[in-house]
Structure 1
Amino acid sequence: MTRSARPLRARIHLDAIRHNYRHAKSHTPHARALAVVKANAYGHGAVAVAQALAAEADGFAVACVEEALELRESGIRGRMVLLEGVFSPDELALVDQAELALVVHNHTQLAWLLAAAPSRPLEVWIKLDTGMHRVGFAPSEFHAVNAQLAACPHIGARVAMTHFARADETAHPYTAAQLATFEHAVSGAQIGRSLANSAAVLAWPAAQGDWTRPGIMLYGVSPFVAGDPHAATPALRPAMTLESAVIAVRELAAGEPVGYGGRFVCTRPTRVGVVAIGYADGYPRHARNGTQVAVNGQLTRLIGRVSMDMITVDLTDCGAVQLGDPVELWGQTVAARAVAEASDTIAYQLFTGLGRRVPRLYDGA
């Protein structure tokens, strides 16, 4: 979708994504980096993002075969890793045909792989559970799994990987413990290593490995928890500007309520602007009164409950505002992270939750 009658759109800044990828690489100069473009590139548009990075990315990471095939069909070549592996043995034919690499994280997947008959050696990434406790082999199983794959004639390159649970909390010892568990498990193995997500890329140099997996940082958001010393990451550039426009202006007296449930009550004569965006578009319904928005580039606040198609904002101190004036929901002036924190969520969910009514327009293609 590239056109809409409504003034709502998400501008995707491809130059910012390229800059952020290069920034990730600069922190790990001895490692290669998979650009993580799963979940439609965190809502930014996987095909456009991958095409923007195709000339320089060392590879791409997606969640599943469908995401990989979309990129292959758009002309994206090179290494592409399925982070969740396959969900049935039938998918291995597609992995073979599309020349994909895949993660293996359980014994059922391993059995499928060993029984496969691909036309070429398959690249396999062996996932270890070092403390995330979602998926992965126990560290004690690594050498046996690796030996089975090494002995299989249709298995090619292998990489050992894990995922950090608390790398965004740089003062917490859990990441160091996971790193130690991983290194002990793979000790002595002649195999590639991949550990670092965005937070580890920026703050855990011991986790650099051979392959990094930058995700949220590609899209210009700090991966660290609020208050962490690394939380401010000024070198990252926001990759999405979500914008709409004022579609109505109301003058309300002190004491008048605004919106469903009267959640906001005017404490003074208030000029209220109505903006064409709502929770059906992906703007968070639980955004609190006071959540930042920008009208004509000037910061102001959300007032009243978010509706399906509209929000209401305070224009009282915004000077002259007319119908059609631009409103930024997040991007260059309003940090997506600030909106997320005011909505008790994270920027990942804001980006991936943008609805189909929101056209993506691309700058810097």
Structure 2
Amino acid sequence: MARPLRAEIDLAALCRNYRAASALAPQSRSMAVLKADAYGHGALACARALTGLAPAFAVATIEEAVALRDGGIETPILLLEGIFEAAELTTVEALSLWQVVHSEWQLEAVLAYRPRRPLPVWLKFDAGMHRLGFSADELRRHWARLRQAPERVTDLHLISHFSSADLADDSAFQNQHAQVRALGEALGAPLCLANSPATLQHPRAHGAWNRPGVMLYGSNPLEGALPAQVNLEPVMTLRSRLIAVRTLEAGEVVGYGGRFRTRRRSRIGVVAAGYGDGYDRHARDGTPVLVNGQRCPIAGRVSMDMLTVDITEVAAADVGSEVVLWGRGLDVDEVAGHCDTIAYTLLTGVLPRVPRVYLPATAAAQAS
């Protein structure tokens, strides 16, 4: 019998979340972000489910793009970090990839390359994130140079990234947005600005393209609640089962370091899941899981292959009872809060030894 831990991926929910993101910005095209193996959900399976629905995909690295092309994906793919060395331009051309240009050396590499057909380029503006991109003056100069090389560059876009679109206090966002809008208007550039938070709560940031990411997988990236009209569904449900049950008297300790001590006669269930699978070791006592559909608290430190929960209040729970660690019925964002982290790290942190089980995206789900 196989170990019971699995990540169940609901591809129909993914498609519905994509359509929800698109509905928020009907004048924009929404590029589905599939970087980091589609936030841990499996990039190729997610791309196949979204093919025909999303007009483009976005990834971080050329290796991610190659894997999608090797899997038969023909949809346009944008490299969000561009090339990492000039030699990659041959692959960019061969696979018909779109690329972000954010650094001087990338710009020079593109202008020195002689493609058979011009390469689509998305020039990146640093509006205050201060990771990648050019200043306004630099970007104006580079934009002009690229426009003067139509034999090398085509379909020029202006792209930027917001550092605080998720916050309730939108003062920093408004400043960044004003900068990039002014620059885009001066250049007459098609814009790609809105990540998941900006897609959700800043309609003014919707451009020719938006690039929803974590919201496609059912997580709320905002500091506050989702807009009332938005319903996001969890795509990943991390499921396991109880593999042992212990009855302990009051005052007994559980797990490494004895962090948890029973206050009463208690039933402790052992779950086949641990930090070796990607479940966060920082989960505090009281972090919720669902056992037979009922909330139960984690009791004791997470181990590499197991974690322990207090099932005293679930009389029917026993070896073999189903456990949901997050997903349907238990919001991954809530679990992340108990781990002092964010849903991104939980979803992308599910390790390869956890099997992904895909629920198909039916035609009805894609069209609904």
TM range (shorter): over 0.9
Alignment of 1:100-249 (within 5 A): 100-152=97-149, 153-225=151-223, 228-230=224-226, 235-249=231-245
Q: Distance in 1 between matches of 2:230 and 2:56?
A: 25
Q: Cα distance 1:231–1:292, how it changes in 2: closer, same or farther (>3 A)?
A: farther
Q: Distance in 2 between matches of 1:234 and 1:26?
A: 10
Query: What's the secondary structure of 1:109's corresponding residue?
Result: helix
Instruction: Give 1:50's aligned residue.
Output: 47
> Match for 1:325: what amino acid?
S
**CA drift at 1:143:** 1.6
List 4+ stretches of structure 1 deviating above 6 A: none
Q: Distance in 1 between matches of 2:332 and 2:225?
A: 19
- Does the CA-based 8 Å contact 1:24-1:214 persist in structure 2? yes
Q: Deviations over 1:215-237 (max 9, x none)?
A: 00000000112xx2547786000
Does 2:227 align with 1:251?
no
**CA drift at 1:118:** 1.4
Does 2:277 align with 1:281?
yes
Alignment of 1:294-305 (within 5 A): 294-305=290-301
Instruction: Give 2:342's aligned residue.
Output: 346
Q: Distance in 2 between matches of 1:207 and 1:265?
A: 51
- Does the CA-based 8 Å contact 1:195-1:207 persist in structure 2? yes
Does 2:288 align with 1:292?
yes
Q: Distance in 2 between matches of 1:233 and 1:255?
A: 48
Instruction: Give 1:95's aligned residue.
Output: 92
Stretch moving more, 166-175 or 275-284: 166-175
Q: Distance in 1 between matches of 2:20 and 2:277?
A: 31
Q: Distance in 2 between matches of 1:317 and 1:186?
A: 59
| Ranges in structure 2 where 5+ consecutive residues have no aligned partner | 362-368
Query: What's the secondary structure of 1:246's corresponding residue?
Result: strand
Q: Deviations over 1:330-351 (max 9, x none)?
A: 0011111111110011110001
Q: Distance in 1 between matches of 2:252 and 2:56?
A: 56
- Does the CA-based 8 Å contact 1:59-1:78 persist in structure 2? yes
Query: What's the secondary structure of 1:281's corresponding residue?
Result: coil
Q: Cα distance 1:229–1:15, how it changes in 2: closer, same or farther (>3 A)?
A: closer
Instruction: Give 1:320's aligned residue.
Output: 316
- Does the CA-based 8 Å contact 2:15-2:50 persist in structure 1? yes
Q: Distance in 2 between matches of 1:125 and 1:292?
A: 43
Q: Cα distance 1:233–1:299, how it changes in 2: closer, same or farther (>3 A)?
A: farther
Does 2:357 align with 1:361?
yes
Give the total of aligned pairs: 360
Query: What's the secondary structure of 1:123's corresponding residue?
Result: strand
- Does the CA-based 8 Å contact 1:222-1:232 persist in structure 2? no
- Give the CA RMSD over aligned residues: 1.2
Query: What's the secondary structure of 2:31's corresponding residue?
Result: strand
| Ranges in structure 1 where 5+ consecutive residues have no aligned partner | none
Q: Distance in 2 between matches of 1:88 and 1:123?
A: 17
Q: Distance in 2 between matches of 1:279 and 1:232?
A: 35
Instruction: Give 2:66's aligned residue.
Output: 69
Q: Deviations over 1:96-123 (max 9, x none)?
A: 0000000000111000000011121100
Q: Deviations over 1:51-106 (max 9, x none)?
A: 00001101000001100010011111121100000010000000000000000001
> Match for 1:215: what amino acid?
G
Q: Distance in 2 between matches of 1:289 and 1:332?
A: 21
**CA drift at 1:141:** 1.6
**CA drift at 1:306:** 0.3
Query: What's the secondary structure of 1:247's corresponding residue?
Result: strand
Q: Cα distance 1:208–1:231, how it changes in 2: closer, same or farther (>3 A)?
A: closer
Q: Cα distance 1:346–1:231, how it changes in 2: closer, same or farther (>3 A)?
A: farther
Instruction: Give 2:366's aligned residue.
Output: none
